[in-house]
A = this chain, B = another copy of it.
């Protein structure tokens, strides 16, 4: 019987890889560089080579592996075909299971990396024990992965869970990376929080430790929140109002059991949730107010866990 699975998380700089047993324990994890020359033509051969080398190292045969799950930074359909392309890798539109399957005799499944990370958090992370959840990634941008009854919600154009681009603010002069104005991401990503802070400091002259910082970031804001700085707490409140409102909308649409909050910003810890949940409850509909919140637990490993879960779950 097949006893193992590989989880592969393809990023713009490196490919994270993990070998898992059926129970979801990671037996080994490692990285290889992402070679983007030649439109990324060697990325999948490199992945295959690394998988075969790992099997040899461990004394395992391909038949003992249930499958290889792959997370890809681009919009994907249910069959693992990239819709449009994965620009960060130099890839166009093609089917990952077919392309990787040319090099290995192991079944392959593939999905979008944010969705895969959500799957990982459900399987072994902050969402363990739930089968309907929304994973929210607060990083440079804001991403989302939606799981309904154990299935990824991919969407017609692979845009399911693109919650960073929910329109939240009519009075916004600057454009989001997507071209629209007033997206959730503009206020609740790491860069968005820094922008809220800069705007606040420019508009008020209240004293705050934030003025002593040479570089304002989400981390400096939440460090100051923890130190009791009133201005930082005010800014965190603005962040919480935007995110709470956005997630309340999400809950009126897909009504998950739990929101799992991850990404770099979530390193602030539990204090982050204390700024999201009260605003969420203010805006949420009826019973949705009872939706749970948790911090993500797997950090940068969520991708390899979720990719393995694609074939093990």
Contact = CB atoms under 8 A, between A and B. Distances in A.
* Copies, count: 2
A153 interface: yes
A254 interface: yes
A253 to B, nearest CB: 5
A180 B287 CA distance: 13
Interface stretch (A59-67, A157-165, A216-224, A261-269): A157-165
Nearest to A155: B255
A251 B132 contact: no
Interface in A67-120: 75, 78, 83-84
Nearest to A179: B286
A235 to B, nearest CB: 18
A247 to B, nearest CB: 10
Contacts of A274: none
A288 B157 CA distance: 7
Interface of A: 75, 78, 83-84, 132, 144, 146, 148-149, 151, 153-163, 165-167, 178, 180, 183, 245, 248-257, 283, 285-288, 290-291
A159 B286 contact: yes
B255 A290 contact: no
A166 B251 CA distance: 9
Given A158-B287, A159-B286, A162-B286, 13 more contacts: A149-B151, A154-B255, A155-B256, A156-B257, A157-B287, A159-B252, A159-B285, A161-B255, A162-B255, A166-B252, A167-B248, A178-B285, A178-B286
Contacts of A253: 144, 146, 160-163, 166, 249-250, 253-254
A289 to B, nearest CB: 10
Closest 4 A/B residue pairs (Cβ): A155-B255, A165-B285, A157-B287, A159-B255
Contacts of A290: 157
Contacts of A286: 157, 159, 162, 165, 178
Contact of A159 (B149, B165, B287): B287
17 contacts: A153-B254, A153-B255, A155-B254, A155-B256, A156-B291, A157-B255, A158-B255, A159-B287, A160-B254, A160-B255, A161-B255, A162-B285, A163-B253, A166-B252, A167-B245, A167-B283, A178-B286
Nearest to A169: B170
A82 to B, nearest CB: 13
A18 B156 CA distance: 32
Contacts of A183: 285
A159 B254 CA distance: 8
A139 to B, nearest CB: 17
Nearest to A249: B166
Contacts of A248: 167
A228 to B, nearest CB: 29
A167 B162 CA distance: 18
Contact of A180 (B75, B84, B251, B285): B285
Contacts of A159: 251-252, 255, 285-288
